[in-house]
């Protein structure tokens, strides 16, 4: 006889990060025929439990449902992040993402398949709303891991993806014009001063409530493990708002914005990509887990490494600490997970207890602007 459970039995009300206990029966799909000891889980940045693109499910919820019903883990995760990529109200990812300094939306993404030990990525891709699907096509249809710029767009065209002239929405274009107004392009300053002016103009829009702080840096990372212990991951972004055209951050780079080892686990990031690139933190986190550390402890080691290596005065706040946010979303092959961050932040997760938004474990108190 099939067991019927109430919503209350499935929803965990705790707001503290940690591994959720399995419910008496899975919320989505059928229980595995063979109990492996793995707790299926999908973890992502907090926007994975916000945007629905007009549907009824968030990204982590959809990914977990598909995964537990038998879909390939990577297919499920990409379907989940597609909700963010295609949602015009999400200004940090995909369609309607905040553009570069020239007003052009350039997108980055990469994906890794643990069981197949394959990966693919794109950087500086223009005209395709869901770059994660192009990254997957690179993985499946080429002998390469990363395609960039015009070559990535031509590859997407050849693979049948629709190429659009402009991925701006009315909102993203309006915000770009406001940023241009604040920068005042009539003043040709020396490179250092102009760079600071561009950054300050963007951050002033965050302070004025025009841009969500997490959207200024953009990005969604989503990682998952099914009941068989199969681990995959995907990261996708519109990158740093108002970036220099052609800039690629950590999101499309294996070992930085995402790293998956099918024998160990996965890690991905959001936040200041340059800080993550310098330290290759996702790779570091997975290697720390390989040596026996928990997801939380592995992530905190990466954050400490970033803090130690951040020495330029322009990157430090008044307390001499990193003046930027950086978060990692981590799970191991057993289904244990953690969200960690430089300062207070949140992450999303979906298990048999349903989708939740939880607090990350911060390395430092306060916030980067202190």
Cα separation values, 119 from 114, 230, 258, Å: 9, 15, 10
Which has the closest alpha carbon to 283: 270, 265, 307? 265
Q: Which of 219, 235, 236, 237 is catalytic?
A: 219
Q: How far apart are CA 240 and CA 199, in angstroms?
A: 10
The reply to whether 6 belongs to the active site is: no
| 3-state class (DSSP) for residue 224 | strand
Q: Indicate the helix (H) or strand (E) that contains 265.
A: strand 265-271
Q: What is the DSSP letter of 198?
A: H
Q: How far apart are CA 336 and CA 225, in angstroms?
A: 10
Contacts of 242 (CB under 8 A, 6+ apart): 98, 99, 100, 101, 176, 179, 198, 201, 202
Encoded tokens for 175: 């915000």
Encoded tokens for 333: 């092959």
* Residues annotated catalytic, as ranges: 219
């Amino acid at each position: 006889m099939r067991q019927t459970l109430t919503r209350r039995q499935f929803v965990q009300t705790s707001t503290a990060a940690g591994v959720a206990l399995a419910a008496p029966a899975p919320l989505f799909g059928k229980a595995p025929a063979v109990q492996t000891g793995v707790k299926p889980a999908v973890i992502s940045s907090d926007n994975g439990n916000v945007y629905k693109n007009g549907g009824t499910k968030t990204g982590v919820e959809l990914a977990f449902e598909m995964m537990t019903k038998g879909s390939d883990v990577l297919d499920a995760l990409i379907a989940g992040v597609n909700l963010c990529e295609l949602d015009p109200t999400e200004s940090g990812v995909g369609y309607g993402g905040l553009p570069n300094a020239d007003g052009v939306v350039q997108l980055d993404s990469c994906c890794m398949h643990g069981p197949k030990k394959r990966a693919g990525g794109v950087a500086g891709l223009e005209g395709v709303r869901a770059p994660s699907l192009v990254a997957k096509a690179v993985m499946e249809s080429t002998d390469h891991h990363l395609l960039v710029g015009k070559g990535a767009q031509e590859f997407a065209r050849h693979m049948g993806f629709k190429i659009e002239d402009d991925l701006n929405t009315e909102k993203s274009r309006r915000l770009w014009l406001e940023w241009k107004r604040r920068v005042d392009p009539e003043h040709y300053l020396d490179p250092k001063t102009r760079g600071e002016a561009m950054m300050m103009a963007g951050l002033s829009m965050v302070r004025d409530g025009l841009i969500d702080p997490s959207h200024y840096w953009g990005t969604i990372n989503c990682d998952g493990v099914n009941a068989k212990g199969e681990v995959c991951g995907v990261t996708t972004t519109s990158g740093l708002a108002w970036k220099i055209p052609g800039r690629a951050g950590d999101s499309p780079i294996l070992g930085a914005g995402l790293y998956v080892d099918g024998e160990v686990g996965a890690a991905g990031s959001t936040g200041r990509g340059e800080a993550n690139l310098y330290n290759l933190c996702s790779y570091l986190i997975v290697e720390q887990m390989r040596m026996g550390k928990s997801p939380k402890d592995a992530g905190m080691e990466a954050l400490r490494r970033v803090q130690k290596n951040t020495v330029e005065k322009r990157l430090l706040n008044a307390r001499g600490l990193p003046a930027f946010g950086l978060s990692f979303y981590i799970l191991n092959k057993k289904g244990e997970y953690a969200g960690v961050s430089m300062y207070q932040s949140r992450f999303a997760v979906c298990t048999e207890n349903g989708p939740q938004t939880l607090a990350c474990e911060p390395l430092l108190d306060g916030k980067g602007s202190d």
